[in-house]
A and B are shown apart, each in its own frame.
Chain A
């Protein structure tokens, strides 16, 4: 039948496009990495604090995000400030996953991960560098941290810098409290801050 051959006949040749293209898209990251085209690898880590979205580069861990953070906004920021060459590449985030797992199990009290601090500048960078030196299981106050970085009157600015920490947990901004022991604030919500402090108190207190 001369006129029977139509688009639908050709379309049936492509019936498995949704499944097959999903598989191929999953393989893109490895190919991109081989050719030096993968600048930011995305992965997820399931944790007692919920599913964390992590982003790593060849320099190290760039970002840890809590589930409530808007994904599109986050990725737009990463595109603009670091590189738009971003792909889902869970295998590239294995290191981060392993260290976070160990941390939440209580078998790790310090991270060996390299950090990519390109999302940090100026005052926030200084503040978070000082925060990295607060030991596991210990705490400092906003005022003390302000003093340590040579800006004793900047306790409030320190609080703001910590509140937008792009690498929470690993840069332990949860260890910074108000004078007198009140929790203060936390970018991921106060209950998470409490959970982290309780975990560290328990592990550090165990001989």
Chain B
């Protein structure tokens, strides 16, 4: 019974923060990820008193993050990727260098950002977090087949973009 107890919230954050950030930074980009990260954990904190058991907390928090990422895109609408986006990113994240972290000028960012939101989220769940398709579907509120199709289309577009750049 004791292992079913909810972990104290600070421990919960500590356990899931890296994965949630990994998902968000790939799904919405390094600038918007900060807001989405905060919104995700604040939503969890709001709901925490109503949670009755500690089952599948990893999926619960990723589901919230997925919703935040997709909401985020919905709010902003599909934006074209501006040609200077890499420069904006570099300005926003001056401390980050290629050697020790994200390279904001990496052309892969632009390619990922150009994907439709659902494809982007599906690709990230599958290839950044290594989740199986049924879980990707569960997180995105669709079937495993739809998730697989989203991932497939997303990866095909990414490959084309990266090749075109090369």
Contact = CB atoms under 8 A, between A and B. Distances in A.
A42 B14 CA distance: 15
B32 to A, nearest CB: 12
Given A25-B41, A32-B42, A14 B102 contact: yes
A76 B5 contact: yes
A10 B123 contact: yes
Interface SS of chain B:
helix
Q: State which size class the interface on B falls in.
A: 35 or more
Interface size class of A (residues with CB under 8 A): 35 or more
A127 to B, nearest CB: 28
Contacts of A83: 49
B36 to A, nearest CB: 10
B20 A86 contact: no
B78 to A, nearest CB: 20
A37 interface: yes
Contacts of A182: none
A87 interface: yes
Given A13-B106, A17-B25, A21-B20, A84 B49 contact: yes
Contacts of A18: 18
A85 B41 CA distance: 11
A37 B13 CA distance: 15
B9 A14 contact: no
Contacts of B127: 6-7, 10-11
A68 interface: no
Contact of A25 (B13, B25, B108, B126): B13
A83 B48 CA distance: 9
Query: Which 8 A-B pairs have CB atoms at the shortest separation, nearest pair first?
Result: A16-B101, A75-B8, A7-B127, A21-B21, A21-B17, A14-B22, A17-B22, A17-B21
15 contacts: A5-B155, A7-B126, A7-B128, A10-B124, A14-B22, A15-B100, A21-B18, A24-B37, A25-B14, A27-B38, A28-B45, A76-B8, A78-B8, A83-B49, A87-B9
